[in-house]
Structure 1
Amino acid sequence: MASERRPSEGRLFDDRWRARSLQSRQLLAASLGLVAFLALAGYALDRAFLETAESNLRTRLESYALEYTRRIEFLRDGSLYVPDTPPEPRFERPGSGLYAEVILPAGHWDSPSAQGPELPMGTMLAPAVQRFEGPLRMTRSNGEAGEIYRYGRGLVWAENGPQAEFPYTVYISEDTSALSQQILVFRRALWGYLGGAGLVLLLLQALIVRWSLRPLRLVETELKKVQRGQLARMSARHPRELEPLTESINAFIESERENLDRQRNTLADLAHSLKTPLAVLRARLDNPTPENELREEVSTQLRRMNDMVSYQLARAASSGHPLFAAPIEVESHAESIVRGLEKVYSQRKVLCEFDFDPEARFHGEPGDLQELLGNLLENAFKWAHSRVLLTVRVGERTPGRRDGLLLAVDDDGPGIASDRVAALLQRGVRGDERVQGHGIGLAIVQDIVRGYRGELDVKRSEELGGARFEVRLPPGL
């Protein structure tokens, strides 16, 4: 049963972790890192202090051993003579914690301070050998267990000639209580200061995290105001790291508003277009009309209304600006459209040439690309004498964004007068009015280009001498 509960408990932990705010995540992660750093720093400082204290203790004990070596002498009979004045007064006080011992081949000597405590016996060291060891167990004068650090140095006495040479060893020992007290004081101060510094750093860290996340809270506040209708769009006063996010949100908001406006315009245009056929039918029904004539009129007006509905639906379906569309290769779509147009206009023998940049891509819906190419190429085939040129190039480039696109269609037809361009591309005109000039397809092209925030330019073709329809789509998000 326990193994069956583990997956749900793991999922519950994951859900709780994912539900945490960015601020709590950063504070928790930074706090754990800070605690780990302070713990490692404290451990390193503690080890460094301990090693330094032990090194200083060894140096001090070594100096005492050298001082005893300088002062002690051996008499002619080989007996040891130690001056009454030791290098440190503590050597004279029993149980003082500082002890001296000289080991001879046939005995040993202890300082007065060693009277009472039970110290571990030292061994004879070879000449010139030094030994620092500890902590070693000992028993103090009051019977309590204790520890000592001991330094030993092997020497040779040779002042009476080579025949009188004999080895001896000097040991200096010190109780660890003084060192332990120093370490205890140091550790209390160390962890006290580190703890205080840690609390200060945690508070400072909380303030820094709160300050660093303030732009995200401003984004959240602005987004709520946009949702409530208090703001039309996100402001531009954000750090550059958040600019892609705010720009994407603004682009989405504008796209949704454009879609809503487009739907309203489409419905308004459709309603306005249907008013006349409905009015004609109402007039026919109100007035006496022969049955055959009425049937013919109803059929005509129904066909007209069907064409209007089909056109408005096609225009609405072909509009839109997808924000995160995958790149589409243009050439394959263009080849498919041109093959169909060449069959339709086979009697005119119009030749379509391609000039493609292999890196050029269309970022949008495939249907929008089909409408753009289809309407522009069909318009060119309709008015061209014999040649059509389709040019596709990489457009404007902006670091960190997808490339723009340049798409142009040239023909060698009569061209378009400059004073007719504005009327030809006018938006919001009824379908019947758009048939003038190059037909309703150009209005659909204009709607698609505007949906992608691009530009449609109509001018004289320098290459073929006819009309040139040039579409420029800006870099995407």
Structure 2
Amino acid sequence: MGWMAATDTASRGPLSLVSRSTIATLLVLVGFLGVTGFALDRAYANAALAGLRARLQSYAYTYLAGIDVSSRSDRVIPPDSSQPNADFSRPGSGLYAVVVGQGGFRWETQSALGRDLPFDQLLAPGVTQFQGPVVTPAGPLFVLGQGVDWVLQGHKSYHLTVYIAQSDAPYRSALAAYRRTLFGWLGGLGLALLILQQILLRWSLAPLRRVAHDIVRIERGSAERLLGPYPREVSVLTHGLNRFIESEREHLKRYRNTLDDLAHSLKTPLAVARSRLESGDDAARVRQDLLEQVTHMDQIVAYQLARAKASGHSTFAPPIPIQAHAEAVVRSLERVYTARNILCEFDIDDSARFYGEEGDLLELLGNLLENAFKWANRRVLLCVTRVAPGDSRAWRAGLDIRVEDDGPGIPADKLEAVLQRGVRGDERVQGHGIGLAIVEDIVRSYHGVLHVDRSAELGGASFHISFAAM
């Protein structure tokens, strides 16, 4: 059962962006509106109680103003028949007034008749007491009591307490009506916000849907790249995808071209070999011609294999430090050219990085440095410099690689020919004549520039590779 549940969860996959945003918004709205509703409900309830207390207090003052106490007989003269609220005159109205005094005095409004309200306690003078709901025979009541010390002639006083009570039904009814209105509005507001959020999400995610649609068009072959236009935040992604698509197409094109070139290049020596085998000439001469063609084919295969190894421009390649790889290449060349005692000098920027495949970097350094070691008299110079991006939007720096030697240099009339396939600067020097052509292929695949000139410092050849910032 656990395996089935895990399989079912995996098959559903992660939630969509819209689902995630909707769930997050719903949780936030429920929490926020819940806290807001609770705070507003408590504020209204407290305000309603404060208003009820102030109203009952005003009734108490009104009755106190209508009461009089005789100084001779200490007899209390109750208020006249006029009432501050008509409900005091209506039996069972839920609004009651009771006045109690010394010697068992008790007076009630007509609304309190027969209710047996338990208001007999005399409060201390100046004490105001508000409580409720209090359970009474007349039902739950909010009660306000006001203690009074009535000063009489002869330094005498008379203690009175006025009780004003009101049923909690109006309060509960008003609170229930407020809550219905409050939660109705909050619920409607939450629903409106959710609908608005869905509209905003649909509008905000429209560029991503357009990217997905354009990718489908690329997969179907009806488009070659993501055309846009896209918002600034999405354009960073689309530019990266376009670079990735172009890089993959360049790789595929280079592989196809390599196979085509290999097939085309082998066709002629194979045809020559076949014709020589069918010629019937002297075996020694045929053998010599076949060896020449086999050597030629070996050169072709070596070049095409080396060319195919160049992986080319990679959009998401990690940065590779130059120093360690350069030292490894030079150590190998120094063992090969020990007898010539070549001195290789480094001027490498520590912050310089090559953004590509390690094999391409080794191929570049290896071919350029081997060519310099081959032609140098005593000195070879390798300079590597980081090129700071001139645009704040650039996401990686450029790179300059310069290899110079103190050899004879390359004549001006051979500068273009030396980069062609199979062409050697000097036919007397051993090699296939493909190293510099491979360098040019790699540089081109990384959108770089290769410039060949004479070294101003050493006097020999100078090979300068420049990769622009991106």
* TM value normalised by structure 1: 0.88
SS of equivalent to 1:402:
coil
- CA shift in 2, pair 1:122/1:338, >3 Å: farther
Q: Distance in 1 between matches of 2:186 and 2:169?
A: 25
Matches within 5 A, 1:408-423: 408-416=402-410, 420-423=414-417
Aligned mate of 2:26, from 7, 14, 31: 31
Aligned AA for 1:29? A
Aligned AA for 2:126? A
The alignment status of 1:285 with 2:277, answered yes or no, reads yes
The alignment status of 1:382 with 2:374, answered yes or no, reads yes
Q: Deviations over 1:9-31 (max 9, x none)?
A: 46745753x44322232223223
Q: Distance in 2 between matches of 1:236 and 1:389?
A: 47
Aligned to 2:57: 62
Aligned AA for 1:288? G
Contact in 1 for aligned 2:344/2:382 (Cα 8 Å)? yes
Aligned mate of 1:135, from 133, 136, 156: 133
The alignment status of 1:83 with 2:79, answered yes or no, reads yes
Q: Distance in 1 between matches of 2:9 and 2:268?
A: 66
The alignment status of 1:229 with 2:216, answered yes or no, reads no
Q: Deviations over 1:35-73 (max 9, x none)?
A: 333333222222221111111111111122222223322
The alignment status of 1:153 with 2:146, answered yes or no, reads yes
Aligned mate of 1:351, from 343, 347, 354: 343
Q: Distance in 2 between matches of 1:154 and 1:344?
A: 116
- CA shift in 2, pair 1:462/1:91, >3 Å: farther
Q: Deviations over 1:271-321 (max 9, x none)?
A: 122122111111112211333443443344233323321221111012322
Aligned to 1:471: 465
Aligned to 1:338: 330
Contact in 2 for aligned 1:434/1:443 (Cα 8 Å)? no
Moved more, 189-198 or 49-58: 189-198
Q: CA RMSD in A?
A: 2.6
- CA shift in 2, pair 1:465/1:299, >3 Å: closer
Aligned mate of 2:446, from 441, 447, 452: 452
SS of equivalent to 1:158:
strand
Aligned to 1:393: 385
SS of equivalent to 2:422:
helix
- CA shift in 2, pair 1:442/1:98, >3 Å: same
Q: Distance in 2 between matches of 1:6 and 1:111?
A: 75
Aligned AA for 2:453? K
Q: Distance in 1 between matches of 2:345 and 2:9?
A: 62
Aligned mate of 2:397, from 392, 396, 403: 403
- CA shift in 2, pair 1:161/1:460, >3 Å: farther
Contact in 2 for aligned 1:319/1:447 (Cα 8 Å)? no
Please report how far the alpha carbon of residue 122 of structure 1 lies from its aligned counterpart in structure 2 after TM superposition.
5.9
Contact in 2 for aligned 1:226/1:233 (Cα 8 Å)? yes
Please report how far the alpha carbon of residue 400 of structure 1 lies from its aligned counterpart in structure 2 after TM superposition.
6.6
Aligned to 1:307: 299
- CA shift in 2, pair 1:312/1:113, >3 Å: same
Aligned AA for 2:202? R
Q: Distance in 2 between matches of 1:328 and 1:62?
A: 85
Q: Deviations over 1:241-268 (max 9, x none)?
A: 2223212211121111111111121112
Please report how far the alpha carbon of residue 7 of structure 1 lies from its aligned counterpart in structure 2 after TM superposition.
7.2
Aligned AA for 1:81? I
Q: Distance in 2 between matches of 1:326 and 1:354?
A: 23
Q: Distance in 2 between matches of 1:237 and 1:65?
A: 76
* TM value normalised by structure 2: 0.89
Please report how far the alpha carbon of residue 236 of structure 1 lies from its aligned counterpart in structure 2 after TM superposition.
4.2
Please report how far the alpha carbon of residue 183 of structure 1 lies from its aligned counterpart in structure 2 after TM superposition.
1.8
Q: Deviations over 1:308-349 (max 9, x none)?
A: 212211110123223322222211111111122223333333
Q: Distance in 2 between matches of 1:95 and 1:339?
A: 111
Aligned to 2:422: 432
Task: Point out where structure 2 has 5 or more consecutive residues left out of the alignment.
Answer: none
Aligned mate of 1:255, from 244, 247, 250: 247
The alignment status of 1:329 with 2:329, answered yes or no, reads no
| Alignment coverage as a number of residue pairs | 461
Aligned to 1:143: none
Task: Point out where structure 1 has 5 or more consecutive residues left out of the alignment.
Answer: 141-145
Q: Distance in 1 between matches of 2:237 and 2:284?
A: 64
Q: Distance in 2 between matches of 1:136 and 1:400?
A: 76
The alignment status of 1:168 with 2:160, answered yes or no, reads yes
- CA shift in 2, pair 1:157/1:223, >3 Å: same
SS of equivalent to 1:165:
strand
- CA shift in 2, pair 1:100/1:303, >3 Å: same
Please report how far the alpha carbon of residue 195 of structure 1 lies from its aligned counterpart in structure 2 after TM superposition.
2.7
Aligned mate of 1:218, from 192, 210, 215: 210
Aligned to 2:43: 48
Aligned AA for 1:160? Q
Q: Distance in 2 between matches of 1:160 and 1:400?
A: 99
Aligned AA for 1:258? E
